[in-house]
Amino acid sequence: MNETGDLSNMRKSYEKGLISDEFKSFSPFFIFKKWFEEAKEDAAILEPNAMILSTINNKQQPKSRVVLLKKFDLNGYTFFTNYNSDKGKSILSNNNVCLNFYWASLEKQIIIKGKASRISENESNDYFNSRPLGSQIGAIVSNQSEIIESRDILEKKFDELNNYYSKVRPKKPTNWGGYIVKPNLFEFWQGRKNRLHDRLEFKLDGNIWNSNRLSP
């Protein structure tokens, strides 16, 4: 099997939208919500809240993975995970993170940089208790990012706990909960013809969001 590929001719023309100069006067939180609502309404986007979370570990090595956004407001962007996972350990050593939303059918991308911190135990408990039973058990069973001998071990443990928790309500593991990313930078990208894409950046300076159009 040939393990190489020439992708030089793979390209498309982006023609579905624009970012007018009017956007520079808007709040970045307003633009995010506006675009997110568009993504929710687009049947081609199965999980509009899927985002790429990038972190840097204590060896200065980057890692990116897809996680699900579960809440957003003026305070920040919240997701949930195992605190002992690779992402949790990386955030503990360096809480500067980057979020990326890419909605291909809309030809839109949003980059958010900020600092991640744990939300309160009460908030994490409330969300954990709202999850389906299977998802709750999955959080208990999985020592996320740890090596396992086989999937059979994982599924056997799940089946045992599924039987047990059919009678008892599960409690949130102490090593599981939410993080909120408090933004200090937004970049909104809209694909345009001839690779002359629109890019609008918002940087936080004190309590003021300064906006600038960037060259593509």
CA distance 112 to 184: 8
Q: What is the per-residue pLDDT for 30?
A: 98
Per-residue pLDDT tens for 13-40?
Answer: 999 999 999 999 999 999 999 999 999 9
CA distance 175 to 172: 8
Query: Is the domain covering 21-126+176-214 a CATH 2.30.110.10 domain?
Result: yes
Contact yes or no for 187/201 (Cβ under 8 A): yes
CA-based diameter of the chain, in Å? 61
Give how far the C-alpha of residue 101 lies from the chain's centroid of Cα atoms, to the nearest Å.
Answer: 7
DSSP string, 149-182: S-HHHHHHHHHHHHHHTTTS-----TTEEEEEEE
Mean pLDDT over each residue of the chain, to the nearest integer: 95
pTM score, two decimals? 0.93
Token representation of residue 6: 């020439």
Contact yes or no for 82/62 (Cβ under 8 A): no
Q: What is the per-residue pLDDT for 167?
A: 84
Give 26's contacts (C-beta < 8 A, 6+ positions apart).
none
Band (pLDDT 50/70/90 cuts) for residue 182 is very high
Per-residue pLDDT tens for 49-85?
Answer: 999 999 999 999 999 999 999 999 999 999 999 999 9
CA distance 32 to 147: 37
- Residues assigned a catalytic role: 195
Q: What is the per-residue pLDDT for 131?
A: 96
